[in-house]
Structure 1
Amino acid sequence: MATDSILPRGTGQLLDTGDGAPWWFDSGSLALDFAYTGEEAVGGISAPAVTDPEGLNAWLTERFPEVAPTAGERELRDAGTLRAAIGRLARSASRGEPLAPDDVDVVNLFAATPDIPPVLAGGGRQAGRTNARPHQALGSIARDAVRLFGPEVGGRIRECAADDCELVYLDTSRSSNRRWCSMQRCGNRAKVRAHRARASRVAG
């Protein structure tokens, strides 16, 4: 059994639209969450950008508490390479376009590195390292990307239905009918527009 498929990693984070009102966006995928931590974020909206080792350490340890905050400039560069590849693949997948082989190679390269092994609590001894390394977290993110862009997901990577929004998400709804990046944002705007249109027709 693949360990990455049973790791309970939560998804979602606050995004910043630049108007001083951050809002919660659940991309549905750890790999997509990671793609939204850079200035090149899919759809042009990002979480607070990870631009230095401290920011990378904070983001990784929030999602992987077992990771030691030891990322430096090398890990930051590698994270940027993986993040950009995932972002481009997400955009292509949401539009039904072929995935760029170079970006697939990047994801596969990181996915081939050791990820974070599961640990059963309650033992009296610590086997091996007590803390995982940042590159192991990147490996886990890449493995999630392999699942995300593979046949298992099958057409559930989508772009927000709003005309003025290009955010990409994984539709994890049971009925596979999610339309909006967030009901708090674009979904609510659509309901307001629909209500105004109905009111205008009744008034006319």
Structure 2
Amino acid sequence: MDGPAELLRDFVNTYDVEGDTDELASPAELAVWLRERGLISGSDRAVDDDWALAVHLREGLRTVLRHGHEAAPAPVADLDAALAALPVRVTLASGAPEAEPLGTGATRGLGLLVKAIMDARAGGGWHRLKVCASDTCQWAFIDASKNRSRAWCSMRVCGNRTKTRAYRARRQAPAPAS
């Protein structure tokens, strides 16, 4: 994994809104996803509560990223509820605040995602992490543009669709009466 922002992007993208497919459709699939990223050991398993919490965390992240990082209280409250359910201790051992996941297995793996949020924030990747502005897409991406103004996951696909719809709507609008 390249870094915490990439991990969070990949986690949000486990659900494909446009295709309505979910890589985390069960506790077993959650365990596989966490294991493949080195967040849990080969013998760790996930249970229904872990899975429900993972989905809540993922969708809370998607909502906050979609509404911008200075999101309204409601989207932030959803994510905060998921974060509050995870056993994580904040320490100052290194001089800067760090998240230390507690628990074992999938619970600890989800706690490492909380740590990734804090690490992305501290490392500058958090504000570059976004969700596509297209309602039908909502794919997470990292905005590498100089001024962080990118709105779509892909200009060729989602950006083009959005601009074409707007153009057609303008062309079909009746001319203003003089």
TM (norm. structure 1) is 0.52
Separation in structure 1 between the aligned mates of residue 11 and residue 87 of structure 2, nearest angstrom: 15
Q: Which residue of the other structure, out of 24, 36, 43, is the alignment partner of 1:62?
A: 36
Assess if the C-alpha contact under 8 Å between 2:131 and 2:139 holds in 1: yes
Shift of 1:48: 3.9
Partner of 1:106: 82
Separation in structure 2 between the aligned mates of residue 176 and residue 89 of structure 1, nearest angstrom: 20
Structure 1 residues 62, 155: CA separation in 2 closer, same or farther (over 3 Å shift)?
Answer: closer
Which digits, 9 at most, give the CA deviation of each residue in 1:149-201, with x for residues without a partner?
A: 67945742334477974433232x37355735247x638x85xx9xxxxxxxx
* Cα root mean square deviation, aligned: 4.0
Q: Tell me whether 1:139 sits opposite 2:125 in the alignment.
A: no
Assess if the C-alpha contact under 8 Å between 1:110 and 1:138 holds in 2: yes
Separation in structure 1 between the aligned mates of residue 134 and residue 57 of structure 2, nearest angstrom: 28
Structure 1 residues 176, 46: CA separation in 2 closer, same or farther (over 3 Å shift)?
Answer: farther
Partner of 1:90: 65
Separation in structure 2 between the aligned mates of residue 151 and residue 104 of structure 1, nearest angstrom: 21
Task: In structure 2, list runs of 5 or more residues that go unmatched.
Answer: 90-99, 164-178
Task: In structure 1, list runs of 5 or more residues that go unmatched.
Answer: 1-8, 12-26, 117-131, 194-204
Count of matched residue pairs: 147
User: After the TM superposition, which parts of structure 1 deviate over 6 Å for at least 4 consecutive aligned residues?
Assistant: 161-164
Structure 1 residues 55, 103: CA separation in 2 closer, same or farther (over 3 Å shift)?
Answer: same
Structure with a larger share of its residues in helix: 2
Identity %: 21
Separation in structure 2 between the aligned mates of residue 163 and residue 71 of structure 1, nearest angstrom: 31
- One-letter amino acid matched to 2:65: A
Alignment of 1:1-204 (within 5 A): 9-10=1-2, 28-38=5-15, 44=18, 48-64=22-38, 66-67=40-41, 68-93=43-68, 97-99=71-73, 100-110=76-86, 112=88, 114-115=100-101, 133-148=105-120, 152-153=124-125, 155-160=127-132, 165-171=137-143, 173=144, 175-176=146-147, 179=150, 180-182=152-154, 186=157, 190=160
